[in-house]
Amino acid sequence: MEVKLGGKLVLAAVLLILGAIFPLFADEFMVSILMQAYLWAFLALSWDVIGGYGGQFSLGHAAFLALGAYTSTILLQSYNVSPWIGMWAAGLVAGAAGALVGIASLRLRGPFFALGTIAFAELVKLLLLYFKGITGGPLGILITKSGPENMLFETQTPYYYLMFVLVIAGILFLKWFESSKFGIGLVAVREDEEAAEGVGINVYRVKVIGAAISAFLTGIGGTIYAQWIHFIRPDILVKLEYSTQIAAIDVVGGAGTPYGGLIGALILVPLSLYLNALFGGMIAGLSIILYGVVLLVVVVLVPGGIYGLIRRKLLRRKPQMGGK
């Protein structure tokens, strides 16, 4: 037990150090790829709260990403509020929208919930287009400020560290969350709603708050994303492709676990960037097809995702190790 814990700590420390010194050895391009993997990992971890632990398969998380991005960007461009503060407002706005989706989940089950979240994302896109005065409509908003105090950097490396910290914070949050009272309640609801009510859990409340937490975190991710690309527009943010990517990364990595998002992102993000670079814009919707196929394969062949697979392998090996 202690050896195992020690082993885990050593592994975590090695990975942390590798992650921290990576930009010293890699070129800007590699740093940028890994940085994007972290960003998507954080979004997948955020999705995991409601999608993995809550068992509500959302395909509308791009909407929360966009709401977060717009909130902090509008605050920055129009009101000169630094995104370091604006990101919390972004989380709150996205979280409030998440609560609405949570309310929908009380009525819509399984595939119907997924369809409902797609519709919700489309609605958010339409609203962003409609309120031109605030959002810039189809032209979007260009971030024209600069400086670290506005979370804007000249090179990729600071963004790398920003997202590195973000993803570590996300993993630590899920580690804490999954054994918290609320986390246990959320999983209980996922596993059996009637039994959950039978132990005193307010199922409605847990579902709504779960969706709100997930959207809150995704909204913060939206701020960081906007700060990195410097430019937001409804049609480049609220994409079904993004919603699918968030969910697929988490499911492939291992939904309902603290590490699934990171594992999935480290595999899928470089792969999809590579394929997109290879084929350019020649094949429309290529990454959707990629995610669709990978998702199908994982769901059929390795339920529990890659993390689940690794864990099962380790657990199976354990008795032999004990025997030696």
Partner 1 sequence: MLEVRDVVKRFGGLVALNRVSLTVKQNELLGLIGPNGSGKTTLFNVITGYYRPEEGKVIYKGDDITGLRPHLIVKKGIARTFQIPKPFGRLTVLENVMSAAMYGRKAASRSEAREIAMEWLDYVRLGEKADVEAKALNIVERKLMELARALSTGPDLLLLDELVAGLNPSEMMDVVKLVRRLVDERGLTIIMVEHVMKAVMSISDRVFVLHRGSKLAEGSPHEVARDPKVIEAYLGEPIQV
**Whether the Cβ atoms of residue 199 and residue 206 lie closer than 8 Å to each other:** no
Q: Rounded distance, CA 90 to CA 71, Å?
A: 5
251 is a site residue for partner 1 (CB under 8 A): no
28 is a site residue for partner 1 (CB under 8 A): no
Stretch touching partner 1 by CB under 8 A, among 18-26, 129-137, 178-186, 287-295? 178-186
187 is a site residue for partner 1 (CB under 8 A): yes
241 is a site residue for partner 1 (CB under 8 A): no
Closest separation in Å from C-beta 198 to partner 1: 6
Each residue 190-229 as x (binds partner 1 by CB under 8 A) or -, in order, gives xxx-xxxxxxxxxx--------------------------
Closest separation in Å from C-beta 202 to partner 1: 5
Residue keyed to tokens 């429309």: 284
Nearest residue (CB) to partner 1, 104 versus 255: 255
Contacting residue, 91, 95, 185, 305, with partner 1 by CB under 8 A: 185
Stretch touching partner 1 by CB under 8 A, among 36-44, 98-106, 176-184, 277-285? 176-184
Nearest residue (CB) to partner 1, 149 versus 191: 191
303 is a site residue for partner 1 (CB under 8 A): no
| Phi-psi domain of 254 (left: phi exceeds 0; alpha: psi -120 through 50; beta: other) | left
Q: Which residues bind partner 1 (CB under 8 A)?
A: 179-181, 184-185, 187-188, 190-192, 194-203, 256
